[in-house]
């Protein structure tokens, strides 16, 4: 398949391009090529790529920044997705939209969320992604919404890399222990998309590594993997580290739809962290 990958310079976009290039024809674009929030630019970029399918990884990902730049975040996440959805409708192109656990509020649901649970975002970033989902769901043709969460991988900034750096500089750390989710390795998510996209299966899918944890538990696992004492990390409440955007306390994405379409089991988040940190230590990741 000839596949247009938006956000190709980002963490997930790079992983997707690497994963698909062996047996498909990925064509990558990023903001430097044009702003998809402009309908005309979106139409030009899709026309130039002439794809059979679009994997839409491009997004405004600054959760806290979205609170103060609401119009810009909505344009990047909702308007751009709407433009792509309209083009896909007109030209019969398939569309896979990468979304987020933050479309849920995380209130009073300790077990997490299924694919069909109602969206009810707590913050503006989550609202922008929910609006993007609505555009995709309106398509009469082939579409997929793949929600993911707590993404890490080859990039300048990610949670495991941050924790390793802090442990090198500080004796102790406090990490939030009242938010629970599913850490996800970008390379593993790319493999999931490599299965799902060619299948042309339509619907909403939850794409994460297996298992869930709090940020505190995540940080302790990182410490253990790199040979640091996890006891140097202590738990704290979210109120200790206030942020502009409210985070859902439990945004675990439960998966059932992927299993129904025969997707292989995903590795645990612990296995994914170990593989990523081994690559980081070996210097074989981008932006080390």
What is the distance of C-alpha 218 from the center of its chain?
Answer: 17
Catalytic-role residue among 125, 185, 216, 276 = 125
Q: d(Cα 176, Cα 217) in Å, to the nearest integer?
A: 9
Q: Indicate the DSSP class of residue 173.
A: E
Consecutive H or E run containing 175: strand 173-176
Helix axes 80-91, 124-137, angle to 10 degrees: 10
Per the annotation, the verdict on 125 as an active-site residue is: yes
User: What are the DSSP calls for 233-250, one per residue?
Assistant: EEEE-GGGS--SSPPPSB
**CB contact at 8 A, 88 and 94:** yes
User: Tokens 């995380």 map to which residue?
Assistant: 106
Consecutive H or E run containing 198: helix 186-199
Q: d(Cα 151, Cα 129) in Å, to the nearest integer?
A: 15
Catalytic residues: 125
């Amino acid at each position: 398949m000839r596949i247009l990958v938006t956000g190709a310079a980002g963490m997930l976009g790079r992983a997707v391009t690497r994963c698909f290039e062996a047996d498909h024809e990925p064509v990558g674009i990023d903001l430097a090529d044009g702003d998809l929030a402009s309908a005309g630019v979106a139409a030009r970029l899709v026309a130039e790529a002439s794809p059979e399918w679009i994997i839409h990884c491009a997004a405004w990902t600054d959760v806290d920044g979205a609170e103060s730049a609401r119009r810009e975040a909505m344009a990047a996440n909702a308007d751009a997705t709407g433009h792509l959805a309209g083009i896909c409708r007109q030209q019969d192109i398939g569309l896979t939209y990468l979304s987020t656990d933050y479309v849920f509020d995380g209130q009073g649901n300790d077990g997490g969320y299924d694919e069909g649970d109602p969206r009810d975002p707590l913050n503006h970033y989550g609202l922008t992604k929910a609006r993007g989902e609505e555009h995709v769901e309106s398509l009469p043709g082939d579409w997929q919404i793949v929600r993911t969460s707590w993404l890490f991988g080859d990039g300048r900034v990610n949670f495991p890399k941050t924790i390793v750096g802090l442990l090198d500089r500080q004796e102790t750390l406090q990490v939030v222990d009242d938010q629970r989710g599913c850490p996800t390795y970008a390379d593993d998510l790319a493999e999931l998309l490599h299965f799902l996209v060619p299948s042309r299966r339509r619907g909403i899918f939850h794409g994460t590594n297996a298992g869930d944890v709090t940020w505190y538990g995540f940080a302790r696992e990182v410490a253990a993997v790199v040979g640091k004492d996890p006891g140097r990390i202590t738990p704290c409440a979210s109120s200790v580290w206030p942020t502009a955007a409210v985070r859902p306390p439990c945004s675990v994405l439960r998966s059932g739809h992927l299993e129904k379409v025969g997707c292989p089991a995903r590795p645990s988040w612990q296995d994914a962290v170990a593989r990523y940190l081994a690559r980081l230590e070996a210097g074989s990741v981008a932006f080390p």
